[in-house]
Amino acid sequence: MPERVQRILAFDFGLQRVGIAIGDTLTGTAAPRPASAARAGEPDWESIGREVSAFNPGRLVVGAPYNTDGTAGALMPSVRRFASELRRRFALPVSLIDERFSSLEASAALTRLRARGGRRRVRREHLDSAAAAVILERWLAGEPGEELQ
């Protein structure tokens, strides 16, 4: 019996913004959504809740900040708190995926889009959500991550 197609919502946590992307297990692709604001590291849970309600995902994926040498980045404790709170609030499985270089990949993709006549100006919130899309596509491609318990 074939697996059921599942929507996945991904997040690129930041102290000022949380990038958001949506994707699914059928196409294996992800698309950026509008970023959600954060104040002093506290996410806008209302706007995140609206995204979860709108897409009814079967799983949530969060980018885990690692340094280039593989050690946990400075934001890791905040990211873990954010991921745990997502799991608590929405009762969905949460996976942490290595986000190293996701912003660089997202920036390159946005630059290519702009060169083809897409967006004229790339703002920081566009980059954050494009990075969330990169993180989600890594998960969809089978990159191993950590399942939050």
Task: Examine residue 22 and state whether it is found in any structural domain, yes or no.
Answer: yes
- State the Cα–Cα distance between residues 36 and 27, nearest whole angstrom: 25
Beta-bridge mates of residue 82: none
The CATH number that applies at residue 36 is 3.30.420.140
Decide: 94 and 80 in contact? Cβ < 8 Å.
no
24-78 per-position pLDDT tens digit:
999 999 999 999 999 888 999 999 999 999 999 999 999 999 888 888 899 999 9
Question: Do the domain assignments include residue 94?
Answer: yes
- Provide the domain limits for residue 39: 7-147
pLDDT (tens digit per residue) in 103-146: 655 555 555 555 556 555 555 666 788 889 999 999 999 888 89
pTM: 0.85
Number of domains in the chain: 1
Distance, CA of 112 to CA of 146 (rounded, Å): 31
pLDDT of residue 128: 86
